[in-house]
Structure 1
Amino acid sequence: CLGKEVGADIPFCVYQKVARVRGIGDIVEPFKLKVGYDVLLIKPKQGVDTKIAFEILDLDKCPHPDINQVKKALINNEPLKDILGNSLLYSAEKLVPEILDIIKECKERGYEDVVMTGSGSTVFVLLEKGQDCRDLIKFMEGKYPFVYRTSILIK
């Protein structure tokens, strides 16, 4: 797969569908959602060096979210706040502490479905379709260089 040679996220992006992605981005398992979601993306100025994040990752000390449970909850439109997670957060936040600040600031404002994307440093807030989050956008735009609201495509 040429996309895999360019970057681990490329094969997933080519599908343009909701999917569980495994391996080094080369195992893409699309699945259908019953409802659409909006997503707020927030990125601090500094990125995460993925190689270093994986080198300092201690798998014995970080939580391991049940991805099958997350997938099931997404498919069935069930609450996610207690099951979302990212094992790499615990090494990424050592490299870019602002990641935890963003997550905390979102949760303090009442947004519960918040987690770091992939290897970071972008954080996403999962929103109900059309949910008003102008307060959060305004706050985050005053602090971080990249704040963008988008939607998850349902195909």
Structure 2
Amino acid sequence: MTAAEDVRPVAGPGHRLGAAFAPAKINLALHVIGRRADGYHLLDSLVAFAGIGDTIEAIANPSTTEPRLTITGPFAAGLEAGPGNLVLRAALAHATAGGRIDGFDLRLTKSLPVASGIGGGSADAAATLRLLTEIAPLPATAADTLRTQAERLGADVPMCLISTPLRATGIGEVIEPLPGFPPLPMVLVNPGVAVSTPAVFRGLARADNPPLPALPPVFSDAEAVAEWLKTTRNDLENPAIAALPLIAASLAEMAATNGCRLARMSGSGATIFGLFATWTEAERAAAALSNAHPAWWVVATTTAGS
């Protein structure tokens, strides 16, 4: 039997063959430092991954030759389950590389707000690639194509593939993992209104801003990270606020919560995060924000350390 052959156990319809977690991607800092001739912006970003995210499952269906996608969860509404969805595009990329995609369907449980600046479809695509390499391994000669598949699906997918603290440069595809990075207690808030990423980039006053300052050899704790982040910025924050002023209001409310060390927008918005020194502080802040704004998506979480 070759590595390309199906090694999955025989399972009846509805049996779960495997699952993969797609954590939220948090841009702790995001500097826009240039623009390529093809229009892509060059970035310098410090990225961490939260303990909350979506889930991808493979569900046995012996009669299918290619997976169908169903979407459930609190943010399933409005998402298309057709071939344009990044989950199915990732499955097709796996097949193109020599992996098998027959005999199962895929189920996405969407727990993260859509178009919210925290990974979303990129994280889902990366989780799908990880899942499929487990249940339907690639041929040995194609195993090194996983990163290539990720790059073709989108600039954020390679970083979501590893989902550990990192510095990303280029258009997001040049990745430097950050060993020893501490876990960060945080609160995520989304006011429930999407903002257009292309519109935010179009609103940039300039695209040749300074890169991140030098990173210390190691951060001692979450407070040290917050202090260093105060010397950085998210260059997309101001144009996002211009497009959606509600972001400014949510940032102000986060910053005013007890114990918040730093409040900032992630990615192109509209999700914002607050950093806290302890989990207890984050929980209390999340409860206060939820009580004040029951229609907002508010969650306390902790990023993964390394």
TM-score over 0.5 (shorter chain): yes
Residue of structure 1 equivalent to 2:166: 19
Residue of structure 1 equivalent to 2:256: 108
User: Using the alignment, how far apart are the partners of 1:152 and 1:53 within structure 2?
Assistant: 26
| Contact 1:114 1:123 (C-alpha < 8 Å) held by counterparts | yes
Alpha-carbon offset, residue 34 of structure 1: 5.1
Alignment of 1:1-155 (within 5 A): 1-33=148-180, 35-59=182-206, 67-69=212-214, 71-72=215-216, 75-77=219-221, 78=224, 79-80=227-228, 82-110=230-258, 111-142=260-291, 143=293, 144-155=295-306
Residues 115 and 99 (structure 1 numbering): CA distance in 2 closer, same or farther, change over 3 Å?
A: same
Matched-pair identity in %: 22
Alpha-carbon offset, residue 76 of structure 1: 4.3
Residue of structure 1 equivalent to 2:125: none
User: Using the alignment, how far apart are the partners of 1:9 and 1:15 within structure 2?
Assistant: 11
Residues 133 and 149 (structure 1 numbering): CA distance in 2 closer, same or farther, change over 3 Å?
A: closer
Alpha-carbon offset, residue 83 of structure 1: 1.8
User: Using the alignment, how far apart are the partners of 1:80 and 1:131 within structure 2?
Assistant: 22
| Contact 2:159 2:168 (C-alpha < 8 Å) held by counterparts | yes
Gaps of 5+ in 1: none
User: Using the alignment, how far apart are the partners of 1:98 and 1:35 within structure 2?
Assistant: 31
Instruction: Pick 1 or 2: higher relative contact order, CA cutoff 8 A, min separation 6.
Output: 1
Name the larger-Rg structure.
2
User: Using the alignment, how far apart are the partners of 2:210 and 2:249 within structure 1?
Assistant: 21
User: Using the alignment, how far apart are the partners of 2:171 and 2:211 within structure 1?
Assistant: 18
Structure with bigger strand share is: 2
Runs ≥4 in structure 1, deviation > 3 angstroms? Answer: none
Per-residue CA deviation, residues 40-99 of structure 1 (Å, 9 max, x unaligned), is 111121122111111111028xxx575234x43973442236324201111011111111
| Contact 1:32 1:75 (C-alpha < 8 Å) held by counterparts | no
Gaps of 5+ in 2: 1-147
User: Using the alignment, how far apart are the partners of 1:6 and 1:146 within structure 2?
Assistant: 28
Code of the aligned partner of 2:299: Y
TM score, norm. by length of structure 2: 0.44
SS of equivalent residue, structure 1 residue 132: helix
User: Using the alignment, how far apart are the partners of 1:73 and 1:85 within structure 2?
Assistant: 20
Alpha-carbon offset, residue 105 of structure 1: 0.7
Count of aligned positions: 152
Residues 5 and 49 (structure 1 numbering): CA distance in 2 closer, same or farther, change over 3 Å?
A: farther
Q: CA RMSD in A?
A: 2.6
Per-residue CA deviation, residues 121-148 of structure 1 (Å, 9 max, x unaligned), is 1111122242423332123224253212
SS of equivalent residue, structure 2 residue 270: coil
Residues 93 and 4 (structure 1 numbering): CA distance in 2 closer, same or farther, change over 3 Å?
A: farther
SS of equivalent residue, structure 2 residue 172: coil
TM score, norm. by length of structure 1: 0.81
| Contact 2:187 2:285 (C-alpha < 8 Å) held by counterparts | no
| Contact 1:81 1:112 (C-alpha < 8 Å) held by counterparts | no
